[in-house]
């Protein structure tokens, strides 16, 4: 899997970071419009509030909202499912950090595509890991029927979200629903499986089968309000616990309910005061090259993320292509592991040693990934790179402290594994807009694939066919390593701006800060 260092030229020269940031902001603005002006008008004519405005109204004033994967489903389905039709994120409601999971009814009636399910499940996973109350703002037509085979039957499909709801509730993590619109089938189970339910009169509806299904199944003709209206469910069936006249009243009721939840979700102050970096994070736009072949010193990035630019480097004179050291972010102690070149055996050993130290000292780990892979070649293999790189992967896998990963550049090959890629369960994983993620770079992939073809053709290779294969492989790897391709498929928790990294990590660290830790002895072997 290791790509190793490459000296080939990239065929596509990436634009500078400033241009990439403009693209990112434009795309975020586009998806924030939901289903577009026409759908917005129809939604508002019905007296309904847009999903992001509902969230703004729900959150405590002057508190941040960490939206997750806003560009899910980007570029898929003809770009007609912005944000995958759902908004998820962490925000503060009545003084408690909560996970918000909110359907956007202006996008295909808030129905679930494969990426909607992934986004919903990922939000629940984060909520469960951090014991965050889940607030469901429900406005959902259930499974998007043309895509039902990618949404309904498997373990990590729609059913999995209900399993999560039941398990979280039983584990004492509150599950609360506020129903704004027509909730059918799976959409109905979100409130039905909640601990407490509020319904908005006139627009909120819950039915396992919508009127067309009822007609098809039992030939009964009934209107939606009679079948599953808010009054019926609050006064007759008991599916709902609170009836409210308006959405605003519903949001106020939800805040009141969260306010009486006890201590869950309450965050304590950071152990140390937060000291801003002395260097301006906006300078990262100039410092970080988007051409991944151009080296730069990752300590310039670290300095603009950590408190007071203060970084206590660990083993700086050994395995220098991996920078390791201690710092604080918004007053929380962290161990930082950042790439500064290809990973050699020495860098891998140092990384494993450092991870063990942080684990022993119960210091959360931050991985800043910009890696082509581990070193390849005879000298590296004879030096045991397979064994030494495996030690890093082993240490990452078994670290008990919370881990956070930011892709600040390339994320290639086994470097992705050793630097805590998604498979290694970081609590959160964010990308910068210049990130690239794949088994290897397009240049290396084209060389590998064409060489394999040449070998299988045993010398009879047709030059034109090989050139075509080269072109197609490059195009495939260019497309698939694009960060928007990745974020569309929920391989990360969102693309963030470099200058936001410190605040995003600070918020993530605060969520895990009060957790009980596994303090059973674990030695440091100095790998
Ligand atoms: N599957 C496929 N498409 C769906 C859908 C679903 N579950 N739910 C909504 N849509 C589509 C509609 O076809 C429409 O598509 P279009 O804009 O391309 O015409 C769009 O989403 C908006 O739906 P619409 O009915 O116009 O919106 P609404 O606000 O009046 O009503 C619902 C929203 C969710 C109440 C209503 O669409 C509904 O009841 N959907 C069907 C629910 C259902 O039977 N689900 C079973 C899932 S197992």
Tens-of-pLDDT digits for all 527 residues of the chain?
A: 343 333 344 457 899 999 999 999 999 999 999 999 999 999 999 999 999 999 999 999 999 999 999 999 999 999 999 999 999 999 999 999 999 999 999 999 999 999 999 999 999 999 999 999 999 999 999 999 999 999 999 999 999 999 999 999 999 999 999 999 999 999 999 999 999 999 999 999 999 998 999 999 999 999 999 999 999 999 999 999 999 999 999 999 999 999 999 999 999 999 999 999 999 999 999 999 999 999 999 999 999 999 999 999 999 999 999 999 999 999 999 999 999 999 999 999 999 999 999 999 999 999 999 999 999 999 999 999 999 999 999 999 999 999 999 999 999 999 999 999 999 999 999 999 999 999 999 999 999 999 998 888 766 668 888 999 999 999 999 999 999 999 999 999 999 999 999 999 999 999 999 998 888 888 888 76
Query: How big is the chain, counted in residues?
Result: 527
Burial group, residue 140, by CB count within 10 angstroms (0-12, 13-18, 19+): buried
Pairing relation of β-strands 175-179 and 134-138?
A: parallel
pLDDT score at 404 = 98
Cα dist from 56 to 61, 99, 179, 510, whole Å: 8, 14, 17, 21
Report how far ligand 1's centroid is from the alpha carbon of 183 (Å): 10
Give the closest residue (by CA) to ligand 1 atom 18: 108
Whole-prediction pTM: 0.95
State whether the Cα torsion 481-483-489-493 is positive or negative. Answer: positive
Name the 3-class secondary structure at 439: coil
List ligand 1's pocket residues with C-beta within 6 A.
Answer: 105, 108-109, 111, 141-145, 182, 184-186, 210, 213
pLDDT score at 5 = 36
Give the closest residue (by CA) to ligand 1 atom 40: 141
Atom index in ligand 1 nearest the CA of residue 182 equals 35
What is the rounded CA–CA span in Å between residue 81 and residue 108?
8
DSSP 458: T
- 99 and 127 in contact (C-beta within 8 Å)? yes
Report how far ligand 1's centroid is from the alpha carbon of 117 (Å): 17
Q: Residue 235 has which token pair?
A: 């006064």
Report how far ligand 1's centroid is from the alpha carbon of 213 (Å): 12
With residue 127 as reference, give the H or E element that holds it: helix 114-130
Atom index in ligand 1 nearest the CA of residue 205 equals 35
Give the closest residue (by CA) to ligand 1 atom 23: 109
Report how far ligand 1's centroid is from the alpha carbon of 145 (Å): 9
Report how far ligand 1's centroid is from the alpha carbon of 111 (Å): 7
Q: Residue 202 has which token pair?
A: 């006139």
Mutate to test the pocket of ligand 1, among 51, 141, 190 (most ligand atoms within 8 A of CB): 141
Q: Residue 448 has which token pair?
A: 């590998």
Give the closest residue (by CA) to ligand 1 atom 13: 108
Report how far ligand 1's centroid is from the alpha carbon of 135 (Å): 23
What is the rounded CA–CA span in Å between residue 487 and residue 22?
17
Buried b (16+ CB within 10 A) or exposed e, 387-404: ebbbbbbebbeebebbbb
**Nearest Cα residue to 51 out of 43, 62, 60, 42:** 43
- 467 Cβ partners below 8 Å, 6+ apart? none
Any bridge partners for residue 349, and if so which?
none
Burial group, residue 462, by CB count within 10 angstroms (0-12, 13-18, 19+): exposed
pLDDT score at 13 = 85
Greatest Cα pair distance in the chain: 80
pLDDT score at 11 = 57
Atom index in ligand 1 nearest the CA of residue 209 equals 44
């Amino acid at each position: 899997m290791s790509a190793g260092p490459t000296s080939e030229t990239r065929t596509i020269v990436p634009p500078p970071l400033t241009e990439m940031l403009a693209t990112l902001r434009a795309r975020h603005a586009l998806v924030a419009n939901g289903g577009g002006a026409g759908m917005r008008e129809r939604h508002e004519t019905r007296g309904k509030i847009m999903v992001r405005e509902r969230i703004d109204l729900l959150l405590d004033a002057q508190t941040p909202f960490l939206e997750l994967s806003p560009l899910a489903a980007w570029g898929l389905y003809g770009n007609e499912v912005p944000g995958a039709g759902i908004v998820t994120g962490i925000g503060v409601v009545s003084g408690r950090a909560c996970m918000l999971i909110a359907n956007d009814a202006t996008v295909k009636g808030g129905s679930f595509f494969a990426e909607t399910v992934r986004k919903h499940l990922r939000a629940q996973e984060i909520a469960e890991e951090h014991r965050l109350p889940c607030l469901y703002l429900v406005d959902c037509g259930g499974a998007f029927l043309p895509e039902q085979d990618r949404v309904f039957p498997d373990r990590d499909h729609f059913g999995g979200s209900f399993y999560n709801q039941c398990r979280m509730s039983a584990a004492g993590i509150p599950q609360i629903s506020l129903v704004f619109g027509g909730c059918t089938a799976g959409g109905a189970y979100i409130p039905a499986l909640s601990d407490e339910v509020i319904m908005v009169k006139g627009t909120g509806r819950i039915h396992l089968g919508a009127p067309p299904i009822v007609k098809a199944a039992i030939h009964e003709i009934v209107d939606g309000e009679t079948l599953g209206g808010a009054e019926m469910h609050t006064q007759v069936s008991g599916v709902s616990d609170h009836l409210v006249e308006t959405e605003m009243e519903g949001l106020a009721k939800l805040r009141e309910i969260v306010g009486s939840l006890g201590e869950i979700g309450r965050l304590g102050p950071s152990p140390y005061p937060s000291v801003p970096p002395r260097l301006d994070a906006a300078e990262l736009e100039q410092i970080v090259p988007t051409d991944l072949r151009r080296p730069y010193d990752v300590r310039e990035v670290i300095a603009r993320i950590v408190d007071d630019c203060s970084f206590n480097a660990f083993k700086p004179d050994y395995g220098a292509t991996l920078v390791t050291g201690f710092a604080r972010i918004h007053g929380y102690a962290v161990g930082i592991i950042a790439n500064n070149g290809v990973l050699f055996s020495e860098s891998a050993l140092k990384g494993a040693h450092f991870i063990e130290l942080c684990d022993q000292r119960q210091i959360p780990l931050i991985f800043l990934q910009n890696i082509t892979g581990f070193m390849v070649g005879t000298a590296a293999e004879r030096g045991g790179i397979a064994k030494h790189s495996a030690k890093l992967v082993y240490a990452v896998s078994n670290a008990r402290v919370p881990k956070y990963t930011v892709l600040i550049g390339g994320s290639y090959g086994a470097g992705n594994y050793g630097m805590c890629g998604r498979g290694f369960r970081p609590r959160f994983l964010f990308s910068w807009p210049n990130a690239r993620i794949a088994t290897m770079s397009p240049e290396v992939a084209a060389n590998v694939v064409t060489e394999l073809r040449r070998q299988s053709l045993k010398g009879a290779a047709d030059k034109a066919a090989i050139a075509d294969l080269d072109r197609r492989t490059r195009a495939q790897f260019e497309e698939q390593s694009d960060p928007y391709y990745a974020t569309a498929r929920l391989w990360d928790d969102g693309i963030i701006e470099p200058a936001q990294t410190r605040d995003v990590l600070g918020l993530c660290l605060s969520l895990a800060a009060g957790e009980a830790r596994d303090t059973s002895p674990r030695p440091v072997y100095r790998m």
